[in-house]
């Protein structure tokens, strides 16, 4: 893949502006990778990297990936929370690179919650 230039950034900006205008700036999916000391030491950054690589393969611009602090469950790190519009948030536990990829492909893209990895699931959508 050829390297990107500042001109490419300008093109990306214009394309992104159109996409954001079409969907009125709202993200439908939010993926939160928890990055406390415990999460980082347990491999949260590798999970984040895997999720970003998977996102890059799709053409979805309504998915937002973000990071947050520890949720207080250090022994279950790395933790990842998936929030899909209209559905209850799901917190996944003991994530690693492969499990993060499964969560992205199955839950984020296909809507199937991977119950075997779930730590907690909200009752509210």
Partner 1 sequence: MMKELSMHILDIAENSISAGANFIDISIKEDYKRDILEICIKDNGKGINGRILKKIDDPFFTTKSKKVGLGISLLKETCDMCDGSLAIDSSLGKGTLIKAKLRLDHIDLPPLGDMVTTIIALILRGNVDIRYSHKVDEKKFFFDTGKIKEELEGVPINHPKVLNYLKEEIEKGLKEISAGKYMWRDSYAKAYNRGS
Minimal distance, residue 12 CB to partner 1, in Å: 5
Name the residue nearer to partner 1 (CB basis): 64 or 118.
64
Dihedral pair phi/psi, residue 13, rounded to 5°: -60, -45
Peptide bond into 78 cis (omega under 30): yes
Minimal distance, residue 6 CB to partner 1, in Å: 8
- Sheet with strand 90-92: strands edge to edge: 63-68, 29-34, 80-84, 90-92, 118-121
Look at the block and give the residue holding tokens 């928890």.
34
User: What is the rounded CA–CA span in Å between residue 92 and residue 7?
Assistant: 39
Name the residue nearer to partner 1 (CB basis): 8 or 85.
8
Name the residue nearer to partner 1 (CB basis): 40 or 109.
40
Binding site for partner 1 (CB under 8 A): 3-4, 6, 8-10, 12-13, 15-17, 20, 33, 35-38, 40-41, 45, 48-49, 52, 55-56, 60-61, 63-67, 69-70, 72, 74
């Amino acid at each position: 893949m050829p390297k990107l230039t500042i001109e490419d950034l300008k093109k990306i900006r214009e394309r992104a502006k159109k996409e954001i205008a079409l969907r009125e700036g709202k993200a439908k999916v939010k993926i939160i990778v928890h990055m406390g000391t415990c999460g980082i030491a347990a491999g949260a950054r590798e999970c984040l990297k895997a999720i970003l690589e998977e996102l890059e393969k799709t053409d979805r611009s309504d998915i937002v990936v973000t990071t947050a602090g520890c949720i207080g469950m250090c022994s279950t790190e790395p933790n990842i929370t998936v929030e899909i519009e209209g559905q209850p948030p799901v917190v996944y536990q003991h994530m690693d690179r492969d499990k993060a990829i499964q969560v992205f492909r199955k839950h984020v893209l296909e809507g199937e919650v991977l119950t075997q990895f779930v730590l907690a699931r909200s009752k509210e959508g």
